[in-house]
């Protein structure tokens, strides 16, 4: 289960070609597969590799997956994905004072971008820089 994913700034800044397809009506009527939370959390974090150091899926159930995520600031958090959304917890060996306020740990977020922005100011900077670079590339 502990599959580590190393992140960084790839030399090719193009978008990944393996996007998750939009589910059809038939797909939505099927029960969730046991690996759905793991696959969804893995895909979401892989898309954010520009703004995190690495991540490892540490456990999962049919309804929830947990990943240990190393942030650019050097601290580690546990991010989980469940039907409620994304939530954060304190990483192994981490002092509560190294985390943002307790209220952040009690909230659910709708997107991986939202939770990473709250947890990591350096992620927010990297995301903004990446967006700015893409916009500049569109300019004549």
Q: Could you read off the pLDDT of 79-121 as tens digits, one per residue? A: 999 999 999 987 665 555 555 555 466 789 999 999 999 999 9
Q: Is the pLDDT of residue 140 over 60?
A: yes
Give the dihedral sign, CA 133/137/138/140: positive
Mean predicted confidence (pLDDT) in 7-17: 44
Q: Give this prediction's pTM.
A: 0.72
What is the number of residues in the chain? 140
Exposed, middle or buried: residue 54 (CB in 10 Å: 0-12, 13-18, 19+)? middle
Instruction: Name the residue ranges covered by the structural domains of the chain.
Output: 3-7+25-138
73-90 pLDDT, tens digit per residue, is: 999 999 999 999 999 987
Architecture of the domain delimited by 3-7+25-138: 2-Layer Sandwich (3.30)
């Amino acid at each position: 289960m502990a599959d580590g994913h190393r992140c960084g700034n790839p030399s090719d800044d193009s978008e990944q070609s393996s996007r998750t397809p939009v589910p059809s009506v038939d797909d939505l009527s099927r029960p969730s597969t046991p690996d759905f939370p793991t696959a969804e959390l893995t895909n979401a974090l892989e898309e954010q590799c520009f703004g995190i150091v690495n991540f490892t899926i540490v456990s999962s159930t049919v309804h929830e997956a947990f990943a240990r995520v190393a942030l650019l600031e050097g601290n580690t958090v546990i991010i989980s994905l469940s039907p409620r959304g994304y939530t954060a917890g304190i990483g192994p060996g981490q002092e509560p004072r190294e985390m943002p306020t307790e209220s952040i740990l009690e909230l659910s977020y709708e997107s991986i971008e939202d939770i990473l922005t709250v947890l990591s100011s350096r992620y927010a900077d990297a995301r903004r820089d990446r967006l700015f670079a893409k916009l500049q590339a569109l300019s004549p």
